[in-house]
Amino acid sequence: MLIKKTADIRSSQVTSKSLYLDRRKFLAGAATLAGAVAVGGVACVSAAAPEPTQGGQKLPGVVKGQFNTDEKQTPYKDITNYNNFYEFATDKYEPAALAKSLRTRPWTVKVEGMVQKPKTYDIDSLLKLATLEERVYRHRCVEGWSMVIPWVGYSFSKLISQVQPLGSAKYVEFTTLNDPAQMPGVRYRVLDWPYTEGLRLDEANHPLALLTFGLYGEVLPNQDGAPVRIVLPWKYGFKSCKSIVRIRFMDKEPATAWNKAAPNEYGFYSNVNPNVDHPRWSQAKERRIGEFFKRPTLMFNGYRDQVASMYAGMDLKKYY
C-alpha cells in the first residue's frame, strides 16, 4: 500500500492507470518531503512508505545500531556475488544469478512450538515488528574466509518476546524454504533438505543475534537469504540460516543440516574458535575477502566480551 485508501480512490477516478501509478510513486515521494500534497484539489493528508520487496530497494527508517565494528566494510559486489547458498548451487559465484528465481512475496514465517502465542507472520509485518538497525558485523565462514557486512535488522529477542516461550522451551530451530521449483540445488541430495539450524534459547536471546532483512541499507538480495535470515556473528557462517520459513521453540536440541551431514566436522555450537581446528584444516587464520595476507581469527570472532559468559565452564573442544 503506497498511500491511504481514500487518496487512492480519489486520484484513480481522475487519471488513467499509468498516470495513476506514476502519481502514486510521486505521491509517496512528495509526501515524504512535504508531509502533505494536493492533487486536483484533493488534499492527500498522509502517505505510508512503500513496502520495499526487491533486493536493492532502500529500507526505510534504518537507525545506527550497536555492536558495530569500524573495520573496512566488504564491497557490496563481493557480499552479493560470493555466497554459500546450497539450495541454489554449491559454487559460490552461482547463487547471485540462480537466486533470481526465488519469490520473496508473498512470504510467511511460521513461529511455533513451545510458545504461548504461536503466530504466522507475513514478511511485511515481521519487517515492521521493531526498529531496523544497521549492524556492521564480522562474518566468518568455517571454510576460512571472512567479510565485514553492514546488515539491517533487529535483535531476534524482539520476536522471541512477542511469542512468549514456555518455561519448557530451551532451544530454537530455524528452517529454510525447500522448494525445488524455485531452488535448483535442492534437487541434489547435498544436504538433508530443508536446511535447518538451531540455537540454545539464551543464545537466541542474545542481543547480537540479528533477524536480518537487509544489507547496505537495502533489502537483502535473494542470494544473501531474502526475505529474512538470522545472523550470528560469533558463530561460523553456516549457523546463520537463510530464507527462513519456520521458527520452532523446542525442549530438545534441534538437529541441524550440517551436523547431520558431517557430525564430526560441524557441531551444534560452532562458535568461531581459532584454537579448535576443523578436522580437515586449521581455524587459526582467515582470509578477509579483498585482502592478500591472512589474518588471525579472533576468539568468538571478536565478540568474546559479549558472548563468552554464555559458555562459561563448557569444554569448547567437546562442544564444538
Q: Please state the closest distance from residue 162 (CB atom) to ligand MTE, in A.
A: 23
Q: Which stretch binds ligand MTE (CB under 6 A): 68-76, 82-90, 107-115, 198-206?
A: 82-90
Q: Please state the closest distance from residue 195 (CB atom) to ligand MTE, in A.
A: 4
Distance CA 149, CA 136 (A): 5
User: Residue type at 47?
Assistant: A
Q: Which of 65, 74, 85, 250 binds ligand MTE (CB under 6 A)?
A: 85
Longest CA–CA span in the chain (Å) reads 72
Q: Which stretch binds Mo ion (CB under 5 A): 50-58, 62-70, 139-147, 257-265?
A: 139-147
Q: Of 11 and 176, which CB lies nearer to ligand MTE in the complex structure?
A: 176
* Cell 487518496 belongs to residue: 7
Helices (H) and strands (E) in the chain, counts: 9, 15
* Residue 159: its H or E element: helix 156-163
User: Residue type at 305?
Assistant: D
Binding string, residues 205-234; x marks residues near ligand MTE by CB under 6 A: -------------------xx---------
Distance CA 102, CA 95 (A): 11
Q: Which of 47, 98, 127, 141 binds Mo ion (CB under 5 A)?
A: 141
Q: Of 38 and 181, which CB lies nearer to ligand MTE in the complex structure?
A: 181
Contact 135, 148 (CB under 8 A): no
Distance CA 203, CA 206 (A): 5
Residues lying near Mo ion in the complex (CB under 5 A) are found at 84, 141, 237-238
Residues lying near ligand MTE in the complex (CB under 6 A) are found at 83-87, 139, 141, 176, 195, 224-225, 237-238, 240-243
